Structure 1
Amino acid sequence: MSLLQAAEHNGPLPRERTFYESLKNVLRGDIPLRPVVAVIAVLTGTMMTSWHTRLFSMALMDLRGVWGLGGDEASILSTVANALQLMVAPAIPMAVVIFGPRKVLLWPGLIFAAVCICIPMVQDQRSLLLLNGIAAVTLGCFVPATLTTIFRSLAPKYWLVAVAFYTARLTVSLHSGVTMADFYVENLGWQFIYWQSAVSSILLVMLVLFSIPEQKFNAEAFKGMDRIGAILMCTALTLVFAGLDQGNRLNWFDSWIIIGLIGGGIFLFGVFLLWQLVVPNPFAHPRVVAHANVIAPMTLGIFYSLVSFGSAYLIPNFLGTVGHLKGIQSGQFLWIIVAAQVVLLPASVWLIRRMEARLVLAFAVACMMVGCFMGTFITHEWVARDFLSIVFCFSLGTSFGFLAVMAISVGNGNPKEIVSVLAYVQIPRVVGPTFASAVLATLLTKREAMHAAWLSHYIDPGREIVREALTGGLSTISSVVSREAYVLAFRDAYTFCFWAGFGALLLILLMKHSPPNPMTPSGYILPATPEHTERSKP
């Protein structure tokens, strides 16, 4: 018998049979859990979400011209691209329990990649709204699934390290996005904002395929799930987010739209809380956040956002408005904060494992308060290098602060109710930064108008400096008044952020000592449970 006949008689070679069988097992999810790769996968999705959201926000002014959008249309597009994340985010931890992390991450990853490939090819405004809305819904799946996957996959002693990478992505995306958005638009093309996200999403899908096994459908959890509560909470938070995002443009409560959005959202959230008290199997009962050490860090997240925006929001806006610099120029010094976050990441983990997280958080807030205090002395002569001392203070604060907040929040929660706690975590995670940016934007607008009116009363044509300015025409003196009004407005904003930091310190004083848990110095080295021991085996 010839070799060819023998091959046909005996079938394919064992190596080929093994390859195809392995491929089928991977596609079916019939694989062992690879904890480290699984955590890398969810952290990839988290970073992709934060970076895509930040790049889209910073490049929106350029995208307006590309798509031919007016100011109102671009603002609505931005709200759609962000608010719809909350339509699913609070329910994702429960979805992970019911369907498993593989399905929750895999299908949204594929859909998001396809949408990011399609968006640069369309110009119709309705199509843009639809596609960006779909992208927002899929993005809302990744961040909430991260903590659930971390706690289910890793042994407790590794939780703090994984959470440290989870918290670092916020600082990295906020401060790097200022320059990266301009770099893409001016050098590579605005399409790369979406293509980069598509590549990241494909990478996420590949990591999930090879690391997270298929989980059996949890029919019992699905049957007992409080669907009405989930719908009420998701809808309420989405409405409040949309109202906050559009508030400054529509002059807040002078607009019935804002009243309807925020008022309707608060009303639905109140109905949600009442529903949780009477339903047999509540989606997220209020008692899970009734503990002072759980509700205080969540409230603190709003104050923390206000203080931390002294670097990510106020510095590039000042240099752009007063210094007339582009984003790629004004954001260069913010890379110092990014570098500090990367370098100090091991130090933050080391410190929280050996010191009470409240002290670490107080130190971080105090550092940012010092930076805000320095910001109250800015003048129109300040250039990027003059913000170096402020950036240094915020580098220390952001490197230690967010991880300390998460360590306190997670460490004080009941492990049996972690799914419900993570539903409430979406409020400070998504609504907090939007509230902070809305408050600061409104504060700058109102204070600039007020200072411009006050300064106009001090223009005395008899003074020599005023006569010299008037030689250039009324437009010259008007531009000087406008510039100084903006400087004073930014001073007021830094003063506001300073006092927000003071409010954060008061909340820290109200917190109690955390019980021993994997996030505390006294409890992070715990004996591995049989479940985690089994999961850790290769």
Structure 2
Amino acid sequence: MRPLKRQILIITVICAAIMELIDTSIVNVALSYMSGNLGSTLEDTAWVITSYAIANVIIIPMTSFLSAKLGRRNYYIGSIILFTLCSFLCGNASGISELVLIRFLQGLGGGALLSVSAAVVYEQFPKEKLGIASALFGIGVFIGPTIGPTLGGYITENFSWPWIFYINIPLGVAAATSCYFLLPEPAIKPKAGSIDWTGIILLTIGIGSLQTVLERGQTEDWFATGYITVLTLIAILSLTAFVFWELHTPNPVVDLRVLKSKSLSIAAVLTFITGMGMFTSIFLTPVIAQRLLGFTPTETGLLLLPGAIIAVFALIATGKMLQSGVSPVLVIFIGFISFIFFNWSMSQITLETSTSYITYRLIFRALGMALLTVPLSSLAVSSLPAKDMPQGTALNNMMRQLGGSFGISIITTFSTRRTAFHRTDLITNITDGNPLVTQRINNFTSYFQTKGSGLAEAHQKAIKMIDLSVVKQSTLLSYLDSYLLIGLLFALALPLLLLVMKRKTGPVKMVLNDH
């Protein structure tokens, strides 16, 4: 392939991956608008995010098989078309059930835009330049979910929420057209046997049940609800049977045998933790900014923009550092430390925290993610033969998405329980004998009396204001605890780097130094 065509192809598939990943977070800041417009509760509207995530996690590990069975070119272009068509249908949905279903189908199309795109990018570079390939693809992996809230906030505030889906249409048409003329079949075509329907069914049931439990467990009081208990058992049995079946069937839909590669296994675990951090921070920060600090959707999105811009340069610099011989273990370590610092510093904010404070801290998040994305992606495929790279890439990407789903579910449960804890703790200080409370109630009462309320009515409103203050403060404290929890999980994952250092630093470094 000529250099110009090769460059256009790389740009196309990276843009397709960015488009897919933007849709994982662009909806976050628009949920309230969608809820009001579609006449649904915020809880039900959240399934617009959940259904997309479920479809992604189901389809991503199957992309290698589907590419082999249908032909990579046909499968990839078909997925772009499905994703683009569903984007149009999402914007025209008339009810929440319809929108959730279409988002699921959109997620099925989007899965290929992530995994196949990565495989295509890696193919365009010799093995000694995997660091550069990972950096280029890492731009999409990081920038997509990061600029999603920025873009979603601007579109929602200045236009209307359907446009967060409509913007995919011209990009999808352009990507499909470009790939039609430029995308080749892989040089080494993997063999595709008979369709592993058993594996597909077990994976779909297992992941679907698991995601439902994670998303609805806290709302339904976990195992106090019958269907949550049943779905948990179904998830355990289905996924256990799936692993056993895939390891023993001759034509697995997901070739789990590639996990014999120690570098891929270690990278997958670290990528899972990274996914938790990436998606939970994108989830927590907009919620705090909008619901507690009073930021508009546009202001909330702009908080993330400086970090996203810096991350682009950091990703490119990381790829060059790996090429020049810097140990990937050192880069990963610095990335983890940056993200731990981000979570600790965010756990110190108050209701009076300035915009600049949060923006500067989000830069550390961006740097942390940038420093993790490239070496982890390189590590995942560094010891795999060319024929197994698509499967390895797919599994590693699945771990990132699954980590995000687990992380958001854990944080939702944790923050809900911590809110109740902090509320109880704060209420114990609100007594008739507390002079500060008495003064606050009197001030509120006087304020409402000046607005025309009678004494009794003004006093009741004052009590409600105190209660709202308690709710707001306890909610903030629970989110701060959530940041600390994620930082702790990153700290606990640090010892895994010793396994990478002992077993893989040499080979990976040697491969990257051949340039």
Show CA shifts across 1:292-321 (max 9, x none): 432222122232234445642333222223
Q: Which residue of 2 aligns with 1:183?
A: 154
Residues of 2 paired with 1:51 and 1:175: CA distance? 8
- Letter paired with 2:463: L
Q: Which of 490, 497, 505 is 1:501 aligned to?
A: 490
Residues of 2 paired with 1:318 and 1:422: CA distance? 34
Q: Evaluate the alpha carbon distance shift between residue 380 and residue 408 of structure 1 in structure 2; reply closer, same or farther with a 3 A threshold.
A: same
Is 1:47 paired with 2:18? yes
For residue 366 of structure 1, report the CA deviation from its aligned partner: 0.6
Q: Which of 495, 504, 511 is 1:514 aligned to?
A: 504
Q: Which of 502, 511, 514 is 1:523 aligned to?
A: 511
Residues of 1 paired with 2:280 and 2:3: CA distance? 45
Q: Which residue of 2 aligns with 1:257?
A: 227
1:35/1:154 contact within 8 Å kept: no
Q: Evaluate the alpha carbon distance shift between residue 126 and residue 217 of structure 1 in structure 2; reply closer, same or farther with a 3 A threshold.
A: farther
Of residues 465-474 and 61-70 in structure 1, the stretch that sits farther from structure 2 once superposed is 61-70
Q: Evaluate the alpha carbon distance shift between residue 380 and residue 127 of structure 1 in structure 2; reply closer, same or farther with a 3 A threshold.
A: closer
1:364/1:400 contact within 8 Å kept: yes
Q: Which residue of 2 aligns with 1:245?
A: 215
1:42/1:146 contact within 8 Å kept: yes
2:335/2:369 contact within 8 Å kept: yes
Residues of 2 paired with 1:524 and 1:181: CA distance? 38
Q: Which residue of 1 aligns with 2:457?
A: none
Residues of 2 paired with 1:376 and 1:215: CA distance? 47
Residues of 2 paired with 1:202 and 1:130: CA distance? 22
Q: Evaluate the alpha carbon distance shift between residue 280 and residue 99 of structure 1 in structure 2; reply closer, same or farther with a 3 A threshold.
A: closer
- Letter paired with 1:485: S
Q: Evaluate the alpha carbon distance shift between residue 301 and residue 335 of structure 1 in structure 2; reply closer, same or farther with a 3 A threshold.
A: same
How well do the aligned residues superpose, as a CA RMSD in angstroms?
Answer: 2.9
Q: Which of 271, 276, 287 is 1:317 aligned to?
A: 287
Q: Which residue of 2 aligns with 1:104?
A: 75
1:112/1:139 contact within 8 Å kept: yes
Structure 1: any 5+ residue segments left out of the alignment? 1-29, 528-538
2:275/2:404 contact within 8 Å kept: yes
1:411/1:515 contact within 8 Å kept: no
Q: Evaluate the alpha carbon distance shift between residue 122 and residue 444 of structure 1 in structure 2; reply closer, same or farther with a 3 A threshold.
A: closer
1:33/1:211 contact within 8 Å kept: no
Q: Which residue of 1 aligns with 2:272?
A: 302
Residues of 2 paired with 1:250 and 1:134: CA distance? 26
- Letter paired with 2:16: G
For residue 458 of structure 1, report the CA deviation from its aligned partner: 1.6
Q: Which of 462, 475, 487 is 1:486 aligned to?
A: 475
Give the 5 Å matches for 1:162-181: 162-181=133-152
Residues of 1 paired with 2:254 and 2:389: CA distance? 10
Residues of 2 paired with 1:309 and 1:124: CA distance? 27
Q: Which has the larger radius of gyration?
A: 1
Matched residue SS, 1:362: helix
Give the 5 Å matches for 1:108-257: 108-213=79-184, 221-223=191-193, 226-257=196-227
Structure 2: any 5+ residue segments left out of the alignment? 445-461
Q: Evaluate the alpha carbon distance shift between residue 446 and residue 348 of structure 1 in structure 2; reply closer, same or farther with a 3 A threshold.
A: same
Q: Which residue of 2 aligns with 1:6?
A: none
Show CA shifts across 1:435-472 (max 9, x none): 11111122111101111001111223233311111222
Matched residue SS, 1:106: helix
Show CA shifts across 1:130-174 (max 9, x none): 433322221122112122222334333443323223222233233
Q: Evaluate the alpha carbon distance shift between residue 179 and residue 523 of structure 1 in structure 2; reply closer, same or farther with a 3 A threshold.
A: closer
Residues of 2 paired with 1:310 and 1:221: CA distance? 38
Matched residue SS, 1:59: helix
Of residues 314-323 and 413-422 in structure 1, the stretch that sits farther from structure 2 once superposed is 413-422
Residues of 2 paired with 1:356 and 1:239: CA distance? 40
> How many residues are paired up?
495
Q: Evaluate the alpha carbon distance shift between residue 478 and residue 132 of structure 1 in structure 2; reply closer, same or farther with a 3 A threshold.
A: same
Q: Which residue of 1 aligns with 2:358?
A: 387
Q: Which residue of 2 aligns with 1:268?
A: 238
Q: Which residue of 1 aligns with 2:447?
A: none
Matched residue SS, 1:381: coil
The alignment's TM-score, normalised by the length of structure 2, stands at 0.87
Residues of 1 paired with 2:148 and 2:237: CA distance? 35
For residue 476 of structure 1, report the CA deviation from its aligned partner: 2.4
For residue 367 of structure 1, report the CA deviation from its aligned partner: 1.2
Residues of 1 paired with 2:130 and 2:273: CA distance? 25
1:310/1:372 contact within 8 Å kept: no
Residues of 1 paired with 2:279 and 2:242: CA distance? 31
